[in-house]
Amino acid sequence: MRKFVTVAALGVALAVAGCGKSDDAGKAGDTADAGKTESTAAAGSMKREPGNWKTEVKLVKFDMPGAPAAMKDQMAKQFASAGSTETCLTQEQADQEDIASAMSKGYGDACTWSKNDIGGGKVDVAGTCTANGQKVDLAMAGTVGSKKTDMTITTKTAAPTGGQMEMQMQVTNTNIGPCKA
């Protein structure tokens, strides 16, 4: 189970590290960009705004054939107790973010992408990653905005109990204001 948690963490890390660049500057809900014209939106790329970002990770699904109910409960409790984290994104960091680069280079040769659709404020990628010698199918889909990102991450791998294990997480990043001193 520890290996699977490591692989799940890989998916979360990719989502968190990759939440930076999108071609959608006029997306509904992004009030900072609401006044831009369509031609300006198409010409420029949007990045997350600097500030204090809150990251929340929720376990949506955990399915492992043959696993005792106690193990499934333990996984759910681990995610529930993790709560949320806050990170300061400086202007310099925001200027350097690039989701496409993060997705393709963030883990070097650890992942091979069969689907890599990033743009228009949306991310839809899938591939196979290797962590701790274990191959994992990884899919991420969601939205990227200047004030909020929302990703669903699904991982599938061989279960130690036999069959295929699947875990799905919801990772939401929200700009909650200026960085704290």
pLDDT at 147 over 70: yes
Residue 122 within a domain: yes
Residue 55 within a domain: yes
pLDDT at 142 over 70: yes
Query: Would you place residue 100 in the very low, low, confident or very high pLDDT band (cuts 50, 70, 90)?
Result: low
Residue 167 within a domain: yes
pLDDT on residue 2: 45
Model confidence pLDDT, tens digit, residues 3-51:
444 445 445 554 544 433 333 333 333 333 333 222 223 323 557 899 9
pLDDT on residue 44: 34
List phi, psi (to 5°) of 164. Answer: -115, 135
pLDDT at 90 over 50: yes
Residue 36 within a domain: no
Residue 91 within a domain: yes
pTM strictly above 0.85: no
Question: Average model confidence (pLDDT) for the chain?
Answer: 73
Model confidence pLDDT, tens digit, residues 152-176:
999 999 888 788 999 999 999 999 9
Strands 21-22 and 111-119: unpaired
Residue 40 within a domain: no
Domain residues for 16?
2-23+51-175
What is the tally of structural domains in the chain?
A: 1
Share of the chain above pLDDT 90, in %: 24
Residue 45 within a domain: no
Of 175, 170, 107, nearest to 141 by C-alpha is 170
Residue 103 within a domain: yes
